[in-house]
Structure 1
Amino acid sequence: MAKTRIFSQGTVAILDTLKQQRTIVIRGDETGLAKTDMNNNTEAYPPPSKAAQAIVHFATLPDDGPSGAFFDSEKNEMPW
């Protein structure tokens, strides 16, 4: 079994436990690619400010907000 798979299974188990305990709020976001020097400022990608908006949104939600989930740049919950 690949190390990555073992790691992600362990991570999911830890996140599930923490989610049930509600002792810590966990939110992950997948903002996708952004138009940067690293990809030659490809026009097909949104500007970094769009990714930053989603990151700031989830980082500043109250503690009783969503936890134990992943979100895309449009703030939609994504499946694990």
Structure 2
Amino acid sequence: MKAKKFEQQFDDGADITASLDLSKARRVLQDQKRVNVDFPTWMIDSLDREASKLGVTRQSVIKVWLAERLQATNSIHPTL
């Protein structure tokens, strides 16, 4: 498909996903790197209680709270 036709379909609100090669798609600034962090037992217990209340994993709670803190202190990339 020519770029002009693709752009026109996009601008018209048509579903263009069939025209995309999503096999190599990635989210910008979302590359992951594994880190290990040791927490005291009381902190793990508190995280688990909060995660249970929210119906999410402990890891999700940690990620959201860290992201909120970093955004609040403007230490995170400004486009996020």
Whether the TM-score (by the shorter chain) exceeds 0.5 is no
More helix by share: 2
Q: TM-score when scaled to structure 2?
A: 0.25
Q: Higher relative CO (CA 8 A, sep ≥ 6), structure 1 or 2?
A: 1
* Higher Cα Rg, which structure: 2
Q: TM-score when scaled to structure 1?
A: 0.25
More strand by share: 1
